[in-house]
A and B are shown apart, each in its own frame.
Chain A
């Protein structure tokens, strides 16, 4: 509708200024000619999303010159997306932070200081907060992009040293609901199966995921499976927005945001009523639950589902949903030889994200679409080490390393004993979860916070509210990062860190796979690996607080060379001591083994012998999973030994439909949802500095359905005010048959204050997982003007 692309270009060209100040997008002309002329190729993993593509970094004269895929890797078979091809350009980028920067007041400019001064300041400020306000006045907020060794050491010092469980990280914002879903449905976190199921599946159920852009190399495998088996393989794409993922779909279910619980229950209704369920599997391996301790019968489940006939669900879901489409989806799902579901933030970032996860798992459990090749209920993860570092390494306020709950005395004491610190040192009470942590910052309860490798000033929902807290003068804020971000703007102390391939360590991707990245090039200037920073900080903290237990936390690592020996010593402690006897047993995944493997190791991997074969492709299957044999209680082929279900069964949940926290109304009549584009990643602090990527998507748009655009007189490129009860953005319009009518969609990477969409989103969160409902809130939109010249924007730092 409206203007054609050519007309749009005419209009914007007419408005074009001679230059586009603010961001350097210039490329050296001769760069590509040198790209593949490397002295050596060093193996590692991609730095960006959660797929875990294996890459090789080409190095010439000590400088990175190219990246290429590793063909014998089972994650990517050599394929890379544009981000994986190009992130080597960040290593020598002129914007890199290269010196510690400090300012006493957040109103001052930063000044360069030495590492000795920086570490002394960090230790002094944290010690002062602990002495004056107690242990829970300090906090660590980390990242699913930090190496496992880094997350593990940070949380060890915070819990064992500073005696607080205020250990959180940005995975709370993206996969906490998936954790909750796996634990409550299967009794154990993380997927049962693997990417290898994709090549065996005959039905894909893709819901709440634009994997074509968010996980492009994994999507390639789905696409290839479909293209090679056009009739035999069905793809169902369920999403309020038509996206590039929809292009491979046989059936697109486009519903109004927040109605997917009704859709999922309706699919279950069809499966039960049409007798498409697997009675034997249900009888052998499952129970039905209303609550954790409230078991119900199959008949009660059937009765519960009667509220979700396809006709009733279609009326709730609206969009293009019809009873027939629901029936078709349910039949394809149940009758397929092997069905694989995949989802991401559309399911997780919801007020009832855990329930939505449960209802997907329900479909797999009642149909027996589990355990066999090609069948799995598979949550995709957004960050490269959210699983390995944060879920497994103890990076959230309620969990300790090795999938141990803080609140369980036995498990907490295990950790204290393994660390050689007195029992009682780790508090029994979990710390603040992310939203509670930044609320506590707002309230002045937290006096010192360390933010590592993430930018909450941009990535928290309702960001303006929490930026006020971060800007408080009585909050001392340390930020460790490689580039300036919206969060360094609010810091007192900015510490420059080594980037990927400038240090050594392990990432654990979506499919329980741990992969080692080996240091290949030196970090710029005085940038340092985080493990060195934490160790040196902890030693100073021990002196400031006169507490030898803090020093004890890092004692095994003192004197280790920082680039290789130190991370290996930390990895060895974590895997050999902390994962022993746990479901994520990684004792076999030593650095020696990880360096031999082209694609790392999938846990459980209790021995090097098992790990050298790649580890465990599918959990819980006897003969495939060594722990299934070890924990077997009977002769059944599947043994659900997960720690969260004492009955060792899968739980089918009765979860009613529940809408979002904030629904559109007369004042704010549109749904607002947010998401990603392929060329940019997260807050764009990295991808925004790669000219090819920034040019491809230089600023965020608001996508408007063509019928809404027509009604409101909006043409492509027009400037649109997007406003909620919390904040506003001014964005160019993309008129696009993407979002369902009545919904607008905005990309969340843009750092410009006018286009930082988390100023508008809502901070309601799931009561179980505490994950915010980024995906849905109410807004209104208004055309303000025709197209304007816009400039790409990245935060900078002033010294």
Chain B
């Protein structure tokens, strides 16, 4: 299927900007496990690491991630958000517990990880 590049870029920007609006909201509780509405990708486009497009589509998010501990240690987008078919705009919190099991079980009840550790930059505490 041929695709017009400008259309693709526009779709990417729209989809991700919508996602940003939720992810980057004020320090309110963010729900987890919110399914994403990523624009359709061709099979070949699916063979591109997420950050390669998001470097341009959402440069601020990309930079936050790239400069974070996750970025330095090559924790990829799909590890938290899933990949195309099962992608979550806001990840299931359980995914944090894969690596941060101790912290996950110690955090106060009713709070999300990213209330204290801002998503993508993952600084120590907000």
Contact = CB atoms under 8 A, between A and B. Distances in A.
B73 A219 contact: yes
Interface residues of A, number: 59
Contact of A5 (B42, B52, B95): B52
B99 A79 contact: yes
A32 B79 contact: no
Interface stretch (B2-10, B17-25, B107-115): B2-10
Given A36-B94, A78-B101, A16 B83 contact: no
Contact of A9 (B33, B53, B99): B53
Interface residues of B, number: 42
B101 A69 contact: yes
A666 interface: no
Contact of B46 (A17, A66, A679, A695): A695
A17 B1 CA distance: 6
B31 interface: no
Given A5-B53, A79-B99, A224-B69, A19 B43 contact: yes
Given A85-B79, A216-B74, A9 B8 contact: yes
Interface stretch (A20-28, A161-169, A585-593, A638-646): A20-28
A80 B86 contact: no
Contacts of A78: 99-102
Given A4-B56, A692-B83, A68 B101 contact: yes
Contact of B43 (A16, A27, A216): A16
Contacts of B3: 13-14, 16
B97 interface: yes
A548 interface: no
A318 to B, nearest CB: 29
A16 B1 contact: yes
A69 B99 contact: yes
Nearest to A213: B74
Contact of A13 (B5, B73, B78, B83): B5
Contacts, number: 140
Given A16-B3, A32-B88, A68-B101, A223 B73 contact: yes
A20 B47 contact: yes
B85 A9 contact: no
A9 B78 contact: no
Contacts of A712: none
B99 A80 contact: yes
Contacts of A792: 47
B22 to A, nearest CB: 19
B24 to A, nearest CB: 23
A27 B88 CA distance: 14
Contacts of A224: 69
Interface in A422-473: none
Interface of A: 4-6, 9-10, 12-20, 25-33, 35-36, 66-71, 78-82, 85, 212-213, 216, 219-220, 223-224, 227, 244, 247-248, 678-679, 691-692, 695-699, 789, 792
**Closest 10 A/B residue pairs (Cβ):** A10-B5, A16-B44, A20-B43, A71-B102, A698-B47, A36-B94, A27-B85, A79-B99, A220-B73, A68-B98
Given A20-B47, A81-B75, 4 more contacts: A13-B5, A27-B85, A28-B86, A696-B49
Interface of B: 1-3, 5, 8-9, 33, 42-49, 52-53, 55-56, 69, 72-76, 78-79, 82-86, 88, 92, 94-95, 97-102
29 contacts: A5-B56, A6-B5, A9-B45, A10-B8, A13-B2, A13-B44, A15-B44, A19-B43, A29-B85, A29-B86, A30-B86, A31-B86, A36-B92, A66-B98, A68-B97, A68-B101, A69-B101, A71-B102, A78-B99, A78-B100, A212-B74, A223-B72, A224-B69, A227-B69, A678-B76, A679-B76, A692-B78, A695-B46, A695-B48
